[in-house]
Structure formats: C-alpha cells, structure tokens
Amino acid sequence: MSIQIGDRIPSVKLKHLTAEGMEEVSTDDLFAGKKVVMFGLPGAYTPTCSAKHMPGFIDKLDALKDKGVDAVLCLSVNDPFVMKAWGEDQGASGKVDLLPDGNAELTKAMGLDFDGSGAGLGTRSKRFAMVVEDGVVKHVAVEDAPGGMEVSSAEKVLEAL
C-alpha cells in the first residue's frame, strides 16, 4: 500500500554527493520542523522527467516558497553521481534538492516503487508529488502511468497548498 495523507515519512538514511564528498542524510532531518514538497520520478535524464517534471518545479519555486514551502526535494532511484550531474544539467542547484535513492529504500518504504525491468530500468519510483509538514504527509498525488503528468506537476501542488 502506498503512503497516505496522515502517514509519517519513513525513517531512512540515504547517500548524497556534496562539494565535500559523499554524505549520509536522514529523512528525519530533512523533514523535521519544515514544510517540504517532495516529488518523485522514474529517472534522471528520462524524457518527461527532464522536459517537464523537474523544470516545472524550478519554474514554480518562488510561488511554492510564497506558500510557505521551506524546501523542494526531488527523489529518484538513481545513484548520487547521476543525480548531482542531472541537477546541474537541469539548473536545479540551489533550488531543488536532489535526493538519490540508489537502493530504492525510501521509495519502497513509501510503497511508491514499480518494476521497470521490462524496459531495462529495474526498480523505479512512480511519478508523484507530496506536501509534508514536520514529517507528516498532508497531500499526496501519484500518477497512474510513469509518463503521466496529470496530478504531480508543480502547478497541481500549488493548487493543493
């Protein structure tokens, strides 16, 4: 079952790449005392993710901040090196925080994983967006299809805030 409104974000430790090298980050720390928008996508450098999903959140960052959002996180089942490079290519640095979930630990704990093996992708994240306040999910929207952008766009999140 997928994560629902009122659920807490699972406590997971992930690795991410910083200027100082590889660092561990805890979801407990990422969400504690903050209003966070987190969106997930099937993969860095994939068509819809690169052309629509990430750019939408970058473009709407100021509007999200105006609604009280402290941080915007992008979760994907990719390694930290790919996420860092993709974030730089997308112009997300300093705007959207890239959260690599290389082993799909957080994605699976939230019940938002799918099997992309048929397309050679392995385990991936469903496309979703959520609003989380102090670790508790206040809004969650999950797309029916990996390429869909009906409910998880930045515009839809703004409507939900």
For the segment 62-76, what is each residue's pLDDT rounded down to a tens digit? 999 999 999 999 999
Q: Which helix (H) or strand (E) holds 113?
A: strand 113-115
Render the burial of 106-145: b for 16+ CB within 10 Å, e for the rest. bbbbbebbeebeeeeeeebbbbbbbbbbebebebbbbbee
Model confidence at 122, in pLDDT bands (50, 70, 90)? confident
3-state DSSP assignment of residue 40: strand
The answer on pLDDT for 110 being more than 90 is yes
Q: Is 49 a catalytic residue?
A: yes
> Is residue 41 within 8 Å of residue 99, measured between CB atoms?
no
What does the pLDDT look like over 90-99, one tens digit per residue? 999 899 999 9
Mean pLDDT of the region 131-157:
93
What is the SS3 assignment for 85? Answer: helix
Q: Mean pLDDT of all residues in the chain?
A: 93
pLDDT cut 90: percent of the chain above it: 78
Q: Residue 126 — very low, low, confident or very high, per pLDDT cuts 50/70/90?
A: very high
Q: Which of 3, 12, 49, 110 is catalytic?
A: 49
Taking 90 as the threshold, does the pLDDT of residue 120 lie above it?
no
Q: How many other CB atoms are there within 10 angstroms of residue 54's CB atom? A: 26
